[in-house]
Structure 1
Amino acid sequence: MDFRLMTRRYGPTMHLTPTGELDLETRAALDEVQARLEGVAAVACDMRHLTFMDVTGLHGLTAFARRLGARGIAFFAYNWQPQPRNLMDLVDRLYPPAGHDRNRPTHLLRRSLQDSADAARAMGAALAQQDAARRTADAPRQR
C-alpha cells in the first residue's frame, strides 16, 4: 500500500494523518513536514489510517517527535492501530526502561496530550531563557 501524509493547519496546531505503511521510504514525508512548522506550537497525529509500521518507520517517527520537542513543539499521536501498537509494545519489552516509564523507547509516541504540552512548554521556557541570557551577554555594557 502507498503512503500518504495529509496535513492540515489550524492556527498554531498542525494535524497529520498518515495513511498506509510507514517505513524507511516514507521518512522523507516527515522531513518535509518538519520544514513547514514555522509558528506551530503542537503537532497532532491521527494514526487511525496507519496500517503498518516497521522498525525504520518507528525510528523515523520517534526521531521526528524528538526534533519537535527540541524546538518546543508538542507532539501527540492517537488512534493507534493494532500492528503499529504491537510493534511499539515489542520494542518496549525488548528494551525495558531504566527507572521510570518515561525512559521507554516509545514514550514520545505514547504520551498524553497534556504530557506533550507540558514537555513542549518546559522546552520553550528553557529556549527562551537561553535566548535572554545570550542577548544579555551580547548587549553593550553601559557605564
Structure 2
Amino acid sequence: MYVTTEQHGRSATLTPRGDIDFAGLEQLRACLAGLPDTVGEVIWDLRDVTFMDVAGLHLISTPIAAARVSLTNMTPQAVRLLEAATAVFPRQEWDRHLPSPADPGLVRATA
C-alpha cells in the first residue's frame, strides 16, 4: 500500500494506491494519525484503489478529532460496498459517503 498525503491549509487529501483491506488498515490509520491537529477536513481520494472491503468501512469511520471526512473519485466497487453496507446497517448512515444522484462525480461530506 502506498499513500500520498497532500495538505492545503486545513485540508488534507490522502490518496491510497492498491487494495484497502485489513492488511493495510493500520498503515492507513497511521497516515491519519500523522496529520497535524490543525487539519479540519480529510479527503480520501479513492481513484487508485483497486479493491476495498469492510476494512474501508472501518477506515472511513476512524475518529479524526474534529475533522470532516469525505470521499472522492470512488470506484464502482467502492460504491457497491457502501450501498450494501447502507442496506445492511442503515443506522450507520454509510450512504452519506455516496455520490449525489444529481452529480455522480461529487460526494457528500460527513462531520
TM-score band, normalised by shorter chain: 0.7 to 0.9
Count of matched residue pairs: 102
The aligned runs of 1:65-76 (5 Å cut-off) are 67-68=63-64, 71-76=65-70
Rounded to whole Å, the distance in 2 between the matches of 1:62 and 1:42 is: 13
**Contact conserved, 1:76 with 1:112, CA < 8 A, in 2?**
yes
**1:61 equivalent in alignment to 2:59:** yes
The aligned runs of 1:29-108 (5 Å cut-off) are 29-38=27-36, 39-55=38-54, 57-64=55-62, 67-68=63-64, 71-97=65-91, 103-104=92-93, 106-107=94-95
Q: Gaps (5+ residues) in structure 2?
A: 99-106
1:96/1:75 CA distance change after superposition, 3 Å? closer
Rounded to whole Å, the distance in 2 between the matches of 1:84 and 1:43 is: 18
Aligned partner of residue 80 in structure 1, secondary structure: coil
Rounded to whole Å, the distance in 2 between the matches of 1:108 and 1:16 is: 19
Structure 1 or 2: larger helix share? Answer: 1
Structure 1 or 2: larger strand share? Answer: 2
Over the residues paired in the alignment, what is the CA RMSD in angstroms? Answer: 1.9
Q: Which has the larger radius of gyration?
A: 1
1:25/1:51 CA distance change after superposition, 3 Å? same
- Paired residue type of 1:19: R
Provide TM-score, normalisation by structure 2: 0.78
Provide TM-score, normalisation by structure 1: 0.62
